[in-house]
Amino acid sequence: MGDINQYIPMVDAILSASNPDEISPKRVRKALQVLFSVDLDSQRKAINELILERFGDLQENPKVLILEKDLINQDQELALRLQKEEQKPQRSTRKRKSKSESKPKRKKRKNDSPDSNSISVRKVILSSPLQEFLGAEELPRTQVVKMIWQYIKEHDLQNPDDRREILCDEKMQPIFGKKMTMFSMNKLLSKHLFNADEIVKHEEDSKIIPKIEVKSEHELLPNTNG
């Protein structure tokens, strides 16, 4: 059958492009069988272990994928910049450079702005239990996931009999309960992450409270039609 490590790049690609709440080792293994035209049933346990290991690593060190349309846009912008450079009239090299020209220009760094919309930079507000657990009020989503996975590995909280299962300690239980699966963590975590327009603060204790939709007066009236 060969070394199963040859499947790592494709496993990473599948996991990175999939919804973590819906993916499973079985689905990834079936996809590998189709893509590589191989039968992996005899290596099911080893392949599943590899998938779980890669899933954990990608959750701890998430990769932000660039969509094809974004790559096309970047290529178009680069082509336009090069075209403009070519169209600029060339100045004589004998002319003395001005002070502004002689100074080296500072390169602009991407994603330095706190208002950046990048998923790896944009911060969300954490719920009160999550703030207590991570020690921060706001963090990027990817950083939240990374910190939680680091905590899980540092405290050896994966069930040795089934690594998909995470046995939560007292610090994690207010957020995730006593146990969860590694594939359900993101779904449970989403209940504790809010954008600024999704929360209100209680004036007395400053706890984070999700906004709820207020029912109309008609909906609040009791049903008297029997």
Rounded to whole angstroms, the Cα distance separating 174 from 100 reads 58
Confidence of residue 158 (pLDDT cuts 50, 70, 90): very high
Tell me, what DSSP letter sits at residue 224?
Answer: -
Rounded to whole angstroms, the maximal C-alpha distance in the chain is 96
Give a yes or no: residue 109 inside a domain: no
Domain end call among 60, 82, 99: 60
Same domain, 51 and 128: no
Give a yes or no: residue 67 inside a domain: no
Question: Which of 138, 123, 145 has the alpha carbon at shortest distance from 58?
Answer: 145
Same domain, 127 and 54: no
* Structure token pair of residue 163: 């690594």
Question: Does pLDDT of 216 surpass 50?
Answer: no
Give a yes or no: residue 15 inside a domain: yes
Give a yes or no: residue 35 inside a domain: yes
* Model pTM above 0.85: no
Question: Which of 131, 116, 135, 139 has the alpha carbon at shortest distance from 62?
Answer: 139
Q: Which of 1-15, 122-136, 157-171 has the lowest mean pLDDT?
A: 1-15
pLDDT of residue 57: 85
Confidence of residue 13 (pLDDT cuts 50, 70, 90): confident
* Structure token pair of residue 61: 């060190």
pLDDT of residue 64: 52
Task: Count how many domains the chain has.
Answer: 2
Question: Which of 164, 155, 158, 188 has the alpha carbon at shortest distance from 51?
Answer: 164
Domain end call among 60, 78, 103: 60
The boundaries of the domain holding residue 191 are 123-210
Over range 70-94, report the average pLDDT. Answer: 58
- Which CATH number covers residue 141? 1.10.245.10
Provide the Cα torsion 130, 12, 118, 71; round to 10°: -170
Give a yes or no: residue 110 inside a domain: no
Question: Does pLDDT of 168 surpass 90?
Answer: yes
pLDDT of residue 152: 93
Give a yes or no: residue 181 inside a domain: yes
The string of pLDDT tens digits covering residues 19-74 is 777 888 999 999 999 888 899 989 999 999 999 888 888 887 766 544 445 555 55
Percent of the residues in the chain that have a pLDDT greater than 70, as a whole number: 60
pLDDT of residue 169: 96
Give a yes or no: residue 152 inside a domain: yes
Give a yes or no: residue 204 inside a domain: yes
Rounded to whole angstroms, the Cα distance separating 146 from 1 reads 34
Q: Looking up tokens 């906004």, which residue turns up?
A: 211
The string of pLDDT tens digits covering residues 116-148 is 444 456 888 999 999 999 999 999 988 999 999
Same domain, 127 and 56: no
